[in-house]
């Protein structure tokens, strides 16, 4: 990726002087749009995308349209998983006293199942930060374990687990707790439970929580406790539809849960202002597909049956690849609720081939899909289909704001690094002279004294640099640092974003801040901004 600085020459914002010494205002200069956009709400671009060529815009639901509150929703998932481990999988009752720190884990980490380690690595798969449970691994041990292999480790399944969704943070935290627990109480874990077995048990417990419906039932009772309210979702969808584009929803959640969540998000904000607890939110979409079983949904050879969902009863009706089939008995599809401008059909299952047919899409490049999951939403739709993609990264809003606020310390770190490199060059030159040049004793003594002074000076600069690095690192996250950087390199997570996401942003509704016909171009890119944060 080309290096791009956040300045007035390459930023998609026109900088204006605020006059108060604070952050300059960023004003979008696209003709005819003219809205102010905070830096944390910017849409960043990896590959050119002309929205005029997009005929259909699709969305995932969970953690895309619906942003869950980690302090409540992930804690709910964590507590449910603990109960499954204790009551179903034989773990000791004292686990029930554990609590979840929802701020500790971040996306982009890798769990080493065999060793009980949690890793953060750069784009080249060099491990830069490593913990065993909650204990930091020394640089020497880290190099011995992950840096001296003849063959590069892929850090993929089955020996590793990728923490690439916000849904995975609770299970990663629980895994770290179990690692520490086993190290201190090896006799209290189930017989034969090594680190890999414990991770497998955690995954099984998580699956049990989702299968028995406990989590979704709690959300249904009080959606506002677990889902952030976003007043901009309906206006964004209306803007896209008014611009002549089709909109669709593809989610792995089934119809009953999808209807609850979307009713909450669109409550009292539907086009006709009707009351909640109905199906008015469907008027914001052309097609809704539930129970899609992504990422398998994106494979064209997928032969999953497509059923039509009757919204009022939740009944599944047979279709002929999306075309209605006369139903036996008294059951028949009902007409859409009165007041809908256009009927939205709801389906379950099927594959991307069915979706293209329902939307009358002629080319995959005419579809933009917005999701939060690198592998489940973005990689498959981009790599297999050639869809255009936008990744939602909620953490990005805070990250870019911190990046801006830390610009002074990052400039200082850059100067210290240059100063250190200059001194290192002088030291190397003096050592070369002392070793290979013919010098008299007086000259050698003088050069040796200069060498010692330079080495002391280098050590002072290096210490200042290390202290500054640590301070800057901890401004982003006290343990894992910056999400998109590891050392001087992009993090592995950032590398995945760069490879598979055409666009990426902090919130799905940031789309509404830009013209629906905008031409996104590379250079509007956060990850390539200079970041002098190094983990030492």
**373-408 pLDDT, tens digit each:** 876 666 666 666 788 999 999 999 999 888 888 888
Q: Is the confidence at residue 122, as pLDDT, over 80?
A: yes
Q: Is 280 annotated as a binding residue?
A: no
Which residue has better confidence, 27 or 82? 82
Q: Is 62 annotated as a binding residue?
A: yes
Looking at residues 503-516, what average pLDDT do you find? 93
Q: 53-67, 165-179, 248-262, 287-301: which range is least confident on average?
A: 287-301
Distance between CA atoms of 484 and 533, rounded to whole angstroms?
Answer: 11
Q: 25-29, 185-189, 234-238: which range is least confident on average?
A: 25-29
Looking at residues 151-160, what average pLDDT do you find? 80
| pLDDT-based confidence at residue 329 (cuts at 50, 70, 90) | low
Q: 136-150, 258-272, 309-323: which range is least confident on average?
A: 258-272
Q: What proportion of the chain, given as a percentage, has pLDDT over 70?
A: 83
Q: Is the confidence at residue 535, as pLDDT, over 50?
A: no
Looking at residues 47-69, what average pLDDT do you find? 94
- Going by C-alpha positions, the residue among 353, 294, 365 that lies closest to residue 60 is 294
**457-466 pLDDT, tens digit each:** 999 999 998 8
Distance between CA atoms of 33 and 485, rounded to whole angstroms?
Answer: 33
Q: Is the confidence at residue 14, as pLDDT, over 70?
A: no
Looking at residues 412-427, what average pLDDT do you find? 91
Q: Is the confidence at residue 8, as pLDDT, over 70?
A: no
pLDDT of residue 155: 86
One DSSP character per residue, 274-319 reads --SSSSGGGGG-SEEEES--TTGGG-TT--PPEEEE-TTT--EEEE
Q: Is 60 annotated as a binding residue?
A: yes
Which residue has better confidence, 524 or 433? 433
Mean pLDDT, the chain, rounded, equals 83
| pLDDT-based confidence at residue 469 (cuts at 50, 70, 90) | confident
One DSSP character per residue, 318-356 reads EEETTEE-PPSTT--PPPPPTT-SS--EEEEE--HHHHH
pLDDT of residue 262: 94
Q: Which two tokens stand for residue 343?
A: 């009927």
Distance between CA atoms of 180 and 132, rounded to whole angstroms?
Answer: 8
Burial of residue 128, with CB atoms counted within 10 A of its CB: 0-12 exposed, 13-18 middle, 19 or more buried: buried
Q: Is the confidence at residue 27, as pLDDT, over 80?
A: no
The dihedral over CA atoms of 475, 476, 479, 480, expressed in degrees to the nearest 10, equals -150
For the domain 48-67+227-317+342-393, what is the CATH superfamily, name and number? Answer: HAD superfamily/HAD-like (3.40.50.1000)
The dihedral over CA atoms of 133, 136, 138, 142, expressed in degrees to the nearest 10, equals 50
- The answer to whether the CB of 93 falls within 8 A of the CB of 86 is yes
Which residue has better confidence, 362 or 176? 176
Q: Which two tokens stand for residue 158?
A: 């089955």
| pLDDT-based confidence at residue 529 (cuts at 50, 70, 90) | very low
pLDDT of residue 25: 35
Catalytic residues: 60, 62
Looking at residues 70-94, what average pLDDT do you find? 93
- The answer to whether the CB of 262 falls within 8 A of the CB of 279 is no
CB count within 10 Å of CB 371 equals 29
Q: Which two tokens stand for residue 98?
A: 């554990």
DSSP one-letter code for 23: P
| pLDDT-based confidence at residue 151 (cuts at 50, 70, 90) | low
pLDDT of residue 263: 92
Looking at residues 86-98, what average pLDDT do you find? 94
Of the CA atoms within 13 Å of residue 77, those in its CB half-sphere come to 26
Distance between CA atoms of 356 and 302, rounded to whole angstroms?
Answer: 13
Which residue has better confidence, 434 or 224? 224
- The answer to whether the CB of 391 falls within 8 A of the CB of 47 is no
Q: What is the pTM of this model?
A: 0.82
Of the CA atoms within 13 Å of residue 92, those in its CB half-sphere come to 14
- Where are the domains positioned within the chain? 48-67+227-317+342-393, 70-221, 395-513
| pLDDT-based confidence at residue 6 (cuts at 50, 70, 90) | very low
Beta carbons within 8 Å of 222's beta carbon, 6+ residues apart? none
């Amino acid at each position: 990726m080309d290096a791009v600085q956040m300045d007035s020459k390459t930023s998609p914002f026109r900088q204006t002087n605020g006059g108060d010494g604070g952050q300059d205002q960023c004003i979008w200069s696209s003709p005819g749009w003219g809205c102010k956009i905070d830096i944390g709400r910017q849409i960043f671009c990896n590959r050119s995308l002309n929205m005029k060529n997009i005929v259909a815009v699709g969305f995932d639901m969970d953690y895309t349209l619906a942003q869950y509150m980690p302090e409540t929703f992930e804690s709910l998932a964590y507590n449910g998983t603990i109960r499954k481990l204790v009551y179903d999988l034989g773990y000791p009752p004292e686990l029930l006293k554990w609590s979840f720190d929802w701020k500790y884990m971040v996306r982009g980490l890798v769990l080493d199942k065999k060793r009980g380690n949690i890793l953060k690595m750069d784009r080249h798969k060099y491990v830069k930060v490593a913990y065993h449970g909650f204990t930091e691994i020394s640089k020497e041990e880290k190099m011995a374990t992950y840096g001296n292999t003849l063959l590069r480790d892929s850090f993929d399944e089955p020996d590793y687990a990728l923490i690439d969704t916000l849904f995975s943070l609770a299970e990663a935290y629980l895994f770290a707790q179990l690692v520490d627990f086993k190290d201190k109480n090896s006799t209290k874990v189930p017989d034969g439970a090594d680190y890999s077995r414990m991770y497998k048990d955690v995954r099984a417990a998580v699956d049990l929580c989702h299968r028995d419906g406990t989590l979704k039932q709690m959300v249904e009772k009080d959606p506002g406790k677990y889902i952030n309210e976003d007043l901009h979702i309906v206006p964004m969808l209306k803007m896209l539809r008014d611009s002549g584009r089709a909109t669709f929803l593809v989610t792995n959640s089934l119809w009953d849960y999808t209807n609850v969540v979307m009713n909450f998000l669109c409550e009292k904000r539907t086009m006709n202002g009707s009351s909640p607890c109905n199906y008015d939110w469907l008027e914001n979409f052309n097609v809704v597909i539930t129970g899609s079983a992504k990422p398998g949904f994106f494979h064209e050879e997928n032969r999953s049956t497509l059923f039509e969902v009757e919204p009022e009863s939740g009944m599944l009706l047979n279709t002929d690849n999306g075309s209605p089939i006369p139903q036996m008995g008294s059951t028949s599809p009902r007409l859409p609720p009165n007041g809908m401008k256009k009927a939205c059909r709801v389906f379950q299952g099927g594959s991307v081939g069915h979706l293209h047919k329902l939307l009358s899409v002629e080319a995959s490049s005419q579809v933009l899909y917005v999701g939060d999951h690198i592998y489940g939403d973005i990689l498959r739709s981009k790599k297999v289909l050639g869809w255009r993609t936008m990744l939602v990264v909620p953490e990005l809003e805070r990250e870019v704001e911190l990046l801006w606020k830390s610009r002074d310390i990052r400039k200082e770190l850059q100067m210290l690094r240059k100063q250190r490199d200059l001194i290192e060059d002088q030291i190397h030159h003096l050592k070369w002279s002392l070793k290979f040049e013919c010098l008299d004793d007086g000259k050698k003594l003088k050069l040796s004294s200069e060498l010692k002074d330079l080495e002391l000076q280098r050590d002072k600069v290096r210490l200042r640099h290390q202290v500054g690095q640590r301070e800057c690192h901890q401004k982003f996250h006290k343990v894992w640092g910056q999400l998109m950087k590891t050392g001087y390199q992009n993090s592995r997570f950032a590398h995945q974003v760069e490879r598979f996401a055409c666009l990426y942003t902090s919130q799905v509704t940031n789309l509404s801040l830009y013209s629906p016909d905008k031409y996104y171009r590379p250079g509007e890119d956060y990850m390539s901004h200079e970041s002098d944060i190094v983990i030492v």
